[in-house]
Chains A and B, each alone.
Chain A
Amino acid sequence: GAVVSQHPSRVICKSGTSVKIECRSLDFQATTMFWYRQFPKQSLMLMATSNEGSKATYEQGVEKDKFLINHASLTLSTLTVTSAHPEDSSFYICSARTPYTEAFFGQGTRLTVV
């Protein structure tokens, strides 16, 4: 299957700081990328959908000013958690697809806010 690389795999940051997570499609051009959050023993919850060159569409209840998503190219999307707080600690996962394929997932990023 296609490869989606997510970086970093793990990050610890101080409360009040911002952290950026990158998601790259390595061998295909992703017209659409998705960002999910997963709490322990819970399923993946979609946060937002982004199409290259367009503003992201956020799911209900997700603060767009807190979770900034940029999809500047067909191979890169970034999620920035601004002014992070301990309750933002979670496992963040991206996925990417083209109109002709299923979504492929990155390895995930474990964020811990202390």
Chain B
Amino acid sequence: QKEVEQDPGPLSVPEGAIVSLNCTYSNSAFQYFMWYRQYSRKGPELLMYTYSSGNKEDGRFTAQVDKSSKYISLFIRDSQPSDSATYLCAMYYSGGSNYKLTFGKGTLLTVNP
């Protein structure tokens, strides 16, 4: 079992739709959770960063963490064509030299105008 599993997609939605992206993880030591957006042939861009269970909102984006279920989600409201990209979840546990991001495989999202 991989440490981080992510819905593979690809996902295609119409403009304005609500998008739900999900990851599960197996290592209960993970404490910090991130969502990155990666456009084609570019480096990942940090979108959201969460630590505790619950929801965190930033504009059209909401990150949700459920540590009891080892499940994280990213919701995108009013999706736009410019949101078309690959979304990667990532996580790590704290402790000096233990900063090592573990990534999901990524979900390719296409928002159609």
Contact = CB atoms under 8 A, between A and B. Distances in A.
Contact of A91 (B41, B45, B88, B105): B41
Interface residues of B, number: 17
B25 interface: no
B105 A103 contact: no
Contacts of B106: 41, 43
Contacts of B46: 1, 102-105
Contacts of B103: 43-44
**Chain A: interface size category:** 20 to 34
A108 B41 contact: yes
B59 interface: no
B49 interface: yes
Interface of B: 34, 36, 41-46, 49, 88, 99-101, 103-106
Interface of A: 1, 4, 6, 32, 34, 41-44, 46, 49, 91, 93, 95, 97, 102-108, 110
Given A34-B101, A42-B105, 5 more contacts: A41-B106, A46-B101, A93-B43, A108-B41, A110-B41
